[in-house]
Amino acid sequence: MNLYELTINEASGFLRKGEISSKELTGSVLDRIDSVEGKVGAYITVAAESAMKQAGYADSEISKGNITPLTGVPLSIKDLICTKGLRTTCASRILDNFVPPYDASVIKKLKKAGAVIVGKTNMDEFAMGSSTENSGIKVTHNPWDLSCIPGGSSGGSAAAVAANMCLGSLGSDTGGSIRQPASHCGVVGMKPTYGRVSRFGLVAFASSLDQIGPVTKDVIDCGILMNAVSGYDPGDSTSVPEDVPDYTSFCKEGLSGVTVGIPVEYHKAEGLDKNVFAAVKNGISVLEDLGAVCVEVSLPHTKYAVAAYYVIAPSEASSNLARYDGVKYGFRDREKSRLMDMYQSTRSKGFGPEVQRRIILGTYSLSAGYYDAYYKKATQVRTLIMEDFKNAFKACDVILSPVAPTPAFKTGEKTQDPLTMYLSDIFTISANLAGMPGMSIPCGFSAAGLPIGMQLMGKHFNEGILLKTAYNFEQATDFHKKKPKI
């Protein structure tokens, strides 16, 4: 086995025993990036030199007996999480040369744990998209089929993990941006409870929805990364001072007593691909065979989730992205001498079409005379969706659904139809609106050989039950062991 094929847990074991060094492991990953990055396009920035320096320091710490489960492990970071001294672009021309003067809280935690950061991954510009085609830098391809999208907006992170171009990654999830690409690339992805992981240093898209989370090769690795990045941070006013358990402790066998809710609305959704339906239905059967009890639940306001999300998220984006004016940092059109002309030209040239579309949508929704009709109504729908989940969880511990209505689609297939693209997130958006944890685990393949993911959602701050359910499913199947031939 090549070292880049190892999971985080496997690599940590070898490093602890001194059977491999971090330099060897990191070198193997960097060689893998050199080999396949030209085909996949997962990275915006590869930090080979600094990664090898970090690996050398990790080896030194390991020799002294200072080792955590992440010491010396090469990880990638979605390019909207601030990394001190390492370019952070949000895949946008407006931040093309921005180098943060500080680390995000999650990066500080990873560095303290001894992890090695090999680079920053591609994404939809400012996380606005479901396919990574909206990147202002490059298009990322799905390692399982290079003619298909990897999902979005954390498409670079999911593609990098699937193609063994890192051992794990951090992404962000605003409406499905970790879970959907994880599904399309056949890896594990978790969106933690809102407030579980600090957002300090995460470049904001929609502040009441954004959450940082792990993308990994298997469930144990997901638990390891959750252990590293979770916890209260006084630097983030939305961070919650809730005790953090050892997430890997939930990765043990046994689902007896666990009740899984199957939303009737999700499984009757229009446009649900037959391959996805069959794979998720098989996943339900596997969980039942493992001792879980599956019951029907109802989430009656699901049909309004997409509409509510595409009022709330663009409204918050309109406010958050007002700071990119060509004055404080980032791109500036220096050909314009008048202030208002400079503002207009900088934002027109700096933002891509999808970001401009959402800023316009959000500004309209917040404008005088329309606020009550759109934004206020959307927040009321959000409350109803939260109530739906609260009622559903009276009957179950976990809610199970598809992640995306279809397997990965062809690059360019939906770029001219933004409404159809938005519906790609129909199953994932509700968890963000409700602030609950959700995760995607591989559960099958389409007739064309493309991965399909199954979504698990839980009560607030109950990521543990998701990991337990996912771990048992993973142990009973081998979907996560299959890798793209690239």
Q: How does pLDDT run across 310-355, given as a tens digit for each residue?
A: 999 999 999 999 999 999 888 999 999 899 999 999 999 999 999 9
Banded pLDDT at 440 (limits 50, 70, 90): very high
The DSSP string of 293-354 is EEEEE--TTGGGHHHHHHHHHHHHHHHHGGG-SSSSSS---TT--SHHHHHHHHHHHHS-HH
What is the Cα–Cα distance from 368 to 379, expressed in whole angstroms?
Answer: 17
Which pLDDT belongs to residue 190? 98
Which pLDDT belongs to residue 218? 98
C-beta of residue 123 within 8 angstroms of C-beta of residue 103 = no
Check whether 405 has a pLDDT greater than 90.
yes
345 is catalytic: no
Phi, psi of 431 (to 5 degrees): -65, -35
Mean pLDDT of the region 53-80 = 98
Mean pLDDT of the region 90-104 = 96
Domains of the chain: 3-248 (3.90.1300.10)
Mean pLDDT of the region 248-266 = 95
Which pLDDT belongs to residue 359? 97
Which pLDDT belongs to residue 72? 98
Banded pLDDT at 161 (limits 50, 70, 90): very high
Banded pLDDT at 373 (limits 50, 70, 90): very high
Residues forming beta bridges with residue 212, ordered by sequence position: 172
Q: Which residues contact 338 (CB under 8 A, 6 or more apart)?
A: none
Which pLDDT belongs to residue 294? 97
Banded pLDDT at 101 (limits 50, 70, 90): very high
Token pair recorded at residue 457: 């959602």
Banded pLDDT at 268 (limits 50, 70, 90): confident
Model confidence pLDDT, tens digit, residues 184-238:
999 999 999 999 999 999 999 999 999 999 999 999 999 999 999 999 999 999 9
Mean pLDDT, the chain, rounded, equals 97
C-beta of residue 226 within 8 angstroms of C-beta of residue 190 = yes
Token pair recorded at residue 356: 């401009």
What is the Cα–Cα distance from 408 to 113, expressed in whole angstroms?
Answer: 34
Which pLDDT belongs to residue 270? 78
Model confidence pLDDT, tens digit, residues 412-427:
999 888 888 988 899 9
- Identity of the amino acid at 110: L
Which pLDDT belongs to residue 257? 94
Grouping H, G, I as helix, E, B as strand and the rest as coil, residue 285 is: helix
Which pLDDT belongs to residue 329? 82
Which pLDDT belongs to residue 266? 83
Token pair recorded at residue 409: 């689609």
Helices (H), 416-461: 418-422, 429-434
Exactly one of 131, 135, 153, 154 is catalytic; name it: 153
- Give the CA distances from residue 46 to residues 78, 301, 358, 484, in Å, rounded to whole numbers and listed in that order: 12, 43, 30, 22
Banded pLDDT at 135 (limits 50, 70, 90): very high
Exactly one of 177, 230, 239, 440 is catalytic; name it: 177
Exactly one of 12, 23, 28, 78 is catalytic; name it: 78
Which pLDDT belongs to residue 1? 83
Mean pLDDT of the region 288-294 = 98
What is the Cα–Cα distance from 392 to 141, expressed in whole angstroms?
Answer: 37
Model confidence pLDDT, tens digit, residues 105-124:
999 999 999 999 999 999 99
Which pLDDT belongs to residue 269? 78
Check whether 30 has a pLDDT greater than 80.
yes
Mean pLDDT of the region 160-178 = 98
DSSP 422: H
Check whether 271 has a pLDDT greater than 90.
no
446 is catalytic: no
Grouping H, G, I as helix, E, B as strand and the rest as coil, residue 130 is: coil
337 is catalytic: no
